[in-house]
């Protein structure tokens, strides 16, 4: 008999990838206080979670940081990709392109550490940013999110027919008008996708935030991580399930928006 190897391999792969996540979600509905013992179905840990002020505060902080850094990163990343794609005579375009994408593969520990050193040095030199907290986390997140946005927007800009912008210019529009009337609507899907990507990346970052954060500014991943060190509690399962939900909605939305073919 012929063994159907490929479907089995695929099945094993998916179990390997999604088994842990699935068990996490299932156990978030566990009645029992013991994480490893099934005590029946319940949503009480979700209720517990929403009454936990520390977690709710951290969640709000994380959402705030994610929204602001995604927005700023989208603006900066779009500007960066315009420079890389549009301007005719950018010398060393390859080098610039490589440099903007390098943060994508840079180990987070290094990104975090280098930013921390920078912030400390800046504080001693100009007194800003004073101490570490929300501001430093924001700057750090904008830095690495911008790289992702640039890559996403860049690929859209490369696909765009230059002559469409030239046509608008030819019809009497100023370069600024061309950008807002033509370029922006046409790359809008990439901007939204880039924003969602940046939002989820920021929401889920632990390493960089741990380096550049200070007292009183603990993001959600930081709070979870510190709680888990004391032992896994069921409400963390509930929280993790919610984060998975938010992140996967973001990623799927970004993918769907990017997939939509530009109509020409």
User: 182 to 211, contacts with another protein by CB under 8 A?
Assistant: 182, 185-186
> Which residues does 108 contact at the CB level (< 8 Å), separation at least 6?
205, 207, 208
Q: Residues in contact with another protein, total (CB under 8 A)? A: 21
Q: x/- string (CB under 8 A) for another protein, residues 125-164?
A: ------------------------------------x-xx
Q: How far is CA 246 from the centre of its chain?
A: 11
Q: Where are the beta strands (DSSP E) in 132-208?
A: none
171 is a contact residue toward another protein (CB under 8 A):
yes
Find out whether 86 and 178 touch, Cβ atoms under 8 Å. Answer: no
User: Of 153, 168, 190, 196, which lies in the binding site for another protein, with binding defined by CB under 8 A?
Assistant: 168
Count CA atoms closer than 13 A to 166's CA, side-chain side: 5
- Which of 184, 93, 99 shows the shortest CA–CA distance to 146? 99
264 is a contact residue toward another protein (CB under 8 A):
yes
Q: Segment contacting another protein (CB under 8 A): 8-16, 40-48, 57-65, 165-173?
A: 165-173
Quote the least distance from Cβ 164 to another protein, whole Å. Answer: 5
Q: How far is CA 247 from the centre of its chain?
A: 9
Quote the CA–CA distance of 198 and 153 in Å, as a whole number: 12
Quote the least distance from Cβ 97 to another protein, whole Å. Answer: 21
Quote the CA–CA distance of 150 and 80 in Å, as a whole number: 6
Quote the least distance from Cβ 171 to another protein, whole Å. Answer: 4
User: 224 to 263, contacts with another protein by CB under 8 A?
Assistant: 262-263
For another protein, the closer of residues 112 and 189 by Cβ is 189
Residues forming contacts to another protein in the complex (CB under 8 A) are 161, 163-164, 166-175, 177, 181-182, 185-186, 262-264
């Amino acid at each position: 008999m012929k063994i159907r190897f490929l479907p089995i391999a695929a099945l094993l792969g998916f179990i390997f990838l999604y088994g842990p996540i699935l068990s996490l979600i299932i156990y978030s509905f566990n009645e029992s206080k013991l994480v490893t013992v099934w005590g029946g179905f319940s949503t009480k840990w979700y209720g517990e979670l929403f009454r936990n002020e520390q977690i709710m505060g951290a969640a709000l902080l994380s959402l705030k940081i994610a929204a602001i850094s995604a927005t700023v990163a989208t603006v900066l990343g779009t500007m960066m990709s315009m420079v890389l794609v549009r301007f005719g005579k950018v010398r060393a375009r390859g080098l610039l392109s490589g440099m903007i994408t390098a943060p994508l593969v840079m180990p987070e520990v290094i990104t975090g550490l280098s930013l921390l050193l920078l912030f400390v040095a800046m504080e001693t030199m100009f007194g800003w940013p004073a101490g570490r907290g929300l501001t430093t986390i924001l700057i750090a997140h904008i830095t690495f999110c911008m790289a992702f946005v640039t890559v996403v927007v860049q690929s859209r800009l490369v696909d765009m027919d230059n002559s469409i912008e030239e046509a608008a210019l030819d019809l009497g529009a100023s370069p600024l008008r061309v950008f807002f009337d033509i370029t922006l609507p046409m790359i809008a899907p990439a901007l939204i996708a880039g924003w969602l990507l940046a939002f989820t990346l920021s929401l889920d970052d632990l390493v960089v935030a741990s380096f550049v954060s200070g007292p009183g500014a603990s993001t959600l991943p930081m709070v979870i991580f510190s709680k888990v060190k004391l032992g896994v509690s069921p409400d963390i399962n509930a929280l993790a399930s919610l984060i998975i939900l938010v992140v996967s909605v973001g990623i799927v939305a970004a993918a769907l928006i990017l997939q939509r073919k530009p109509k020409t």
